[in-house]
A and B are shown apart, each in its own frame.
Chain A
Amino acid sequence: MLDQIRDLYQEVVFDHNRNPRNFRVMTEANRKVEGYNPLCGDRITLYLKVSDEGVIEDVSFQGSGCAISTASASLMTEIVKGMHESEAEELFETFHRVTTGKEESFDLEELGKLAVLAGVRAYPARVKCATLPWHSLKAALHDTEATVTTE
């Protein structure tokens, strides 16, 4: 039953929703951003520890959101840990491009593990759920103090 929604709700999504990775407060963080989706009330606090060389040494999050935003945040923290800021930004661009569906064709391989979230393309009302953590990340990388919203 409900086979059609499996492209959105893949097992990996459920797994990360049930057991989000890096779901914790980081006291030693040197970047912290509040992300907020005013449409649905999803909130995320993203913590980063970025080295002087611009390497993301640690990343974690807290907050309450739907399965899509929680899984997206969880997957994101796993993937960007150890990346250089510039690599993470590049990945943001790719992820954003794929999920907002601005391109007809795209290479899922580019996204790696994040490909499980590409299904959100077919759900315009849910795209912001998937991109909220990434918008927060981008703001954190730019060291923006203010709250990020998806609007």
Chain B
Amino acid sequence: MSSAVQSILRSDASPRGIYDVARIRKDFPILAQSIHGKPLVYLDNAATTQKPRAVIDCISKVYEHDYANVHRGVHTLSQRATELFEGAREKIRRFINARHSREIVFTRGTTEAINLVAQSYGRPHLRSGDEILITAMEHHSNIVPWQMLCEQTGAVLKVAPIDRTGSLLVEEFEALLSERTRLVSVAHMSNALGTVNPVELLIELAHRRGIPVLLDGAQAIPHMAVDVQALDCDFYAFSGHKLYGPSGIGVLYGKEQILSAMPPYQGGGDMIRRVTFEKTEYNELPYKFEAGTPAIVDAIALGAAIDYLQTLGMDAIAGHEQRLLNYAGERTTEIPGLRVIGQAQHKGAILSFTLEGIHPHDIGTIFDHLGIAVRAGHHCAMPVMDFFGVPATARASFGLYNTFEEVDALIDGIHQVIQVFR
């Protein structure tokens, strides 16, 4: 690509004042460091994101001033902690536009949220021969809980195929919706390929047949505005740590009507209304699904992360990341032997690739010496790797704080890897 084209792509892309990435980077203390003597280029955002000062400060502030157990004490600190904790739930409700905050269940993360649905919704509902439909691009956490459920119930796991670009074959998906399908569970966005699924359409197809749909939103939620009412999904699962919040906290959104009818996932404190040795009366939503002391401060800090994201605006973040992805995509075409894995038309900010004759693990190690952090491996999506006939890929995944200079560093790094291995 000519330098003129490059500069048009880049300057057009990053108009100062509209999305000031240099200023945004200052909000993330961890980014201002060197790795092996090179400035850190953090491109492993699909694995986890770095935290803004607002989140880090929130955690210390709560522990220093407002911490106690929630929903229990009459004392001031407990009331404060409860208010902050429930305040975070309300922020999350608004963020994904759920109808009620009782539809927001705190979990440890996406994985636990999916397991909750598998065990509390799936297990009582499914009979031998019933079917669960997923896609061929799922993360292991949207495969294994269903396999476990199938073993428990005799249900069958069906997998809708993808094409060579990494796009879901929607017609085949539709053909797999049968009279026995009891649940559809689909990634909103693929972690290994970046594919953004046409979830509105998939939900409509499933709903026409009365089948509920769970969206695994772990990857999508940091990259786009999500409106669960507009989507009309029945469940939406995501993790705090991929949304610039703490790890150990996540969310299961579920439609109230469905959640109400589900039995609890785990038993313990906080999920009960009244316990005798004969019988226990369960608490109301969402507490029915929140046994034990939750990750109180992490939930509050997830609320702080959402506040932070809203000062930037999800649409502005999405626009910036798309420009980075397009620029990176353009620049990779200049590299012989580079194969992009996942070229769906609708893609989030993930660039998965292989280099001819060079294993992704070696790319990862050499990158590290250049200060570049990427994921090298199967991305917990081994069936996807098998489909593309590769043992692993290198994956650069962009976040709201990445820059065009970092894309340049990535491309330069790839050239250096090739040189080392030549």
Contacts and interface: CB of A to CB of B under 8 A. Distances in A.
B365 interface: yes
Contacts of A42: 359, 361, 391
A41 B392 contact: yes
B365 A5 contact: yes
Contacts of B359: 42, 64-67, 70
A68 interface: yes
A5 B369 contact: yes
B218 interface: no
Contacts of A129: 361
Contacts of A65: 359, 391
Most chain-B CB neighbours within 10 Å: which of A1, A2, A66?
A: A66
A126 B366 CA distance: 12
A43 B25 CA distance: 40
Given A2-B369, A40-B391, A9 B378 contact: no
Given A39-B377, A40-B378, A41-B377, A2 B420 contact: yes
Nearest to B393: A41
Interface string A1-14: 11011001100001
B36 interface: yes
Chain B residues touching A, majority SS: helix
A14 B376 contact: no
Interface residues of B, number: 21
B98 interface: no
Given A40-B377, A43-B391, A67 B362 contact: yes
A5 B416 CA distance: 12
A40 B392 CA distance: 7
Interface string B379-394: 0001001000001100
B421 interface: yes
A35 B69 CA distance: 48
Nearest to A8: B365
A14 B366 contact: no
Nearest to A67: B362
Contacts of A5: 365-366, 369, 420
A39 B364 CA distance: 13
A68 B420 contact: no
Contacts of A43: 391
A106 interface: no
Contact of A9 (B36, B376, B377, B420): B420
Chain A residues touching B, majority SS: mixed
A126 B376 CA distance: 12
Contacts of A125: 365
Interface string B386-422: 0000011000000000000000000000001001110
Given A14-B421, A64-B391, A41 B382 contact: yes
Contact of B416 (A2, A8, A64): A2
B347 to A, nearest CB: 23
Contacts of A2: 366, 369-370, 416, 420
B365 A126 contact: yes
Interface string B346-366: 000000000000111110011
Contacts of B370: 2
B366 A41 contact: no
A9 B363 CA distance: 12
A133 B32 CA distance: 39
A4 B371 CA distance: 13
Contacts of A70: 359
A40 B361 contact: yes
Interface in A73-131: 123, 125-126, 129
B36 A126 contact: no
B362 A68 contact: yes
Interface in A25-68: 39-43, 64-68
A9 B420 CA distance: 9
Given A1-B416, A41-B377, A66 B36 contact: no
B361 A68 contact: yes
Nearest to B422: A14
A64 B376 CA distance: 15
B362 A41 contact: no
A2 B369 CA distance: 7
B391 A41 contact: yes
Contacts of A9: 362, 366, 420
Contacts of A67: 358-359, 362, 421
Contacts of B36: 4
Contacts of B385: 41
11 contacts: A2-B420, A4-B369, A5-B369, A14-B421, A40-B392, A41-B385, A42-B359, A66-B359, A67-B421, A70-B359, A126-B365
Sorted from nearest, which 10 A-B pairs have the closest CB atoms?
A66-B359, A41-B391, A66-B361, A41-B392, A41-B378, A67-B362, A66-B362, A40-B377, A5-B369, A40-B361
Given A2-B370, A9-B362, A65-B391, 4 more contacts: A1-B419, A5-B369, A40-B361, A40-B376
Interface of B: 36, 358-362, 365-366, 369-370, 376-378, 382, 385, 391-392, 416, 419-421
Interface of A: 1-2, 4-5, 8-9, 14, 39-43, 64-68, 70, 123, 125-126, 129
